[in-house]
Structure 1
Amino acid sequence: MTIVDFEPFVAELATVAGDAILPFFRTALQAQDKGARGQFDPVTEADRAAETAMRRLIQSTFPAHGIVGEEFGDHQPDAEYVWVLDPIDGTKSFISGFPTWGTLVALEHRGVPVYGVMHQPFTREKFFGDNARATWAGRNAHGTEIVHHLRTRDCPALADATVMTTSPALMEPGERARFERVASEAKLVRFGGDCYSYCMVAAGHVDLVIESGLQPYDIAALIPIVKGAGGVVTTWSGDEAQGGGAVVAAGDPRVHEAALKLLAG
């Protein structure tokens, strides 16, 4: 099968997850804390319901494929094709009633993310990418369904850049100091956004996203979207980012290089 052959199934996975999540959004949903080291890391019934629905669909359709998921661990992670799932990336935003969260679905082939989708079912948006192209599917103000291609924007220098991170408080002290080097030279710095920030890099509205402490399911789906729109995603040391850790995504290679120099430690 080619990557194109998987596209309808990826869209179906995202839709199934959205159908499981939306009944819980902006309700009196209770969150459990699965955090460590004093960090609040919430999980909800919506997270578990969405991942369960996606796992069932994958295992019934592609039983030979592997699954790596945030809530229920790994299944055949060494398979040729592996699905990497984050049912709700941005659970803190979710339980706070903000729509800056999304379902992340990545397809990896021999360990490399080859296709990704970020689905925001409340705003009825999907961001797709396959490393060579990226698209947005949603509705206009009149409710008409539309699709358009995504491209990052030119940003030659940090002085021109809009930089985002979910929160500097999530970084280790040494990482936070390095992030502040970049932030001090940027035109605009904004916090929050989670997965939505990376999609805004692909859409040409944000220039840099800088994070640390990511898991593979936090980033794998976003790499093909950003790269497909013409951007760059690496670790702070310039390595491949699908394993997570400290990650920087940029729309322009020039501002990516400038950020790496300041993040180098």
Structure 2
Amino acid sequence: MNNWQTILTFIQELTKQVGARLLADFEEARVAINKDDGSLVTSSDRWADEYIKLSLEKEFPEYGVLTEESTQILPDREWAWVVDPLDGTTNFARGIPIWAISLGLLHHGTPVFGYVAVPPLHQNIYGWADENGSAAFLNDREIHLADIAPDPDALSNYFFSACSRSLAKMGRAEFPFKMRMMGAATYNILTVAIGSTIGAVEATPKIWDIAAAWAIIKAIGAIWIPLEDSQNIFPLEMGKDYGQRNFPCLIVSHRELLPMAKEIIEPFFH
């Protein structure tokens, strides 16, 4: 498959529908409960999970679907969707407008297409990368690394983004950047793609946090470094339960920044 426009049109409409409902929920009182892993979940997460899953199964009956809130075993299918129906639930539940809807499409266990909608910020970030080519977009405008090249002599004016667990694992309190914590793993990673940050680190993302983002980061040519055993993340294993598996990672916009970024996150390797 290389006709991404057909898939894109469907996913744009699907995330528009889901985003409209989530935005309405976001304006109302939000009740969150703790899951077994300590993270929060709301009725909005579960509604979005079911709605997206059923919509994908109807439109793409031959594809498998893995989602955060329901099916966490990767189906044994050539093509499979990986869905985070509401990335940034804690932000959503606490009234912070940084949360996203994330859909990644795997081919033989490797992401080739990703779409991340961020309704509160009116941002849609998407892209594809396969043997036929690659491209990435922000609100239908193509994005390129050349457009976001940082000035190496003025890094104090650039951002580096980390999750709270990353700071604890690195044992750091001071950085040569102004720190930003997004509270949404997918969006945290994609700040590199859209030029908001020059790097990002995530300590405990799950597969639904990274599948869509991985395809987009690959499409623009940024650097993705797995921080667990230096192993390649993809392809995933068919039939495996990914509910508890973390994929710590470092993302850097330009290769010349990699040595400095690796020095910063060096405690990950101990």
Root mean square deviation of aligned Cα: 2.5
Q: Corresponding residue for 2:136?
A: 134
Residue among 249, 252, 269 paired with 1:264: 269
Q: Which residue is equivalent to 1:148?
A: 141
One of 176, 185, 202 as aligned partner of 2:170: 176
Distance 1:156 1:258, change over 3 A: farther
Aligned-pair identity in percent equals 25
Residues 100 and 117, structure 2, Cα contact 8 Å, conserved in 1: yes
CA deviation after TM superposition for structure 1 residue 13, in Å: 2.9
Between the aligned partners of 1:208 and 1:7, the Cα distance in structure 2 is 27
Partner amino acid, structure 1, of 2:232: E
Measure the CA separation in 1 of the matches of 2:259 and 2:233.
15
Task: For 1:244-255, list aligned pairs within 5 A.
Answer: 244-255=246-257
| Deviation, structure 1 residue 184 | 4.0
Number of equivalenced pairs:
246
Distance 1:227 1:207 in 2: 15
Q: What does 1:119-130 correspond to in 2, within 5 Å?
A: 119-130=117-128
Match of 1:236 in 2: 227
Q: Distance in 2 between matches of 1:223 and 1:3?
A: 19
1:196 corresponds to which of 187, 193, 197: 187
Aligned to 1:208: 199
Partner of 2:241: none
| CA distance 1:75–1:211, change in 2 (3 Å) | closer
- For 1:102 and 1:159, locate their aligned partners in 2 and report how far apart those are by CA, in whole Å: 31
Superposed displacement of residue 87, structure 1: 0.6
SS at match of 2:113: strand
Q: TM-score, normalised by structure 1?
A: 0.83
The answer to whether the 8 A contact 1:47-1:87 is kept is yes
- In structure 2, the partner of 1:141 is none
Aligned residue number for residue 94 of structure 1: 92
Please report the TM-score for the alignment, with normalisation by the length of structure 2. 0.81
How far did residue 92 of structure 1 move? 0.8
4+ runs of 1 displaced by more than 3 Å?
A: 155-159, 237-244
CA spacing shift, 1:157–1:35, aligned 2, 3 Å: farther
Distance 1:129 1:101 in 2: 19
- Output the amino acid matched with 1:154: A
Unaligned 5+ residue runs, structure 2?
237-245
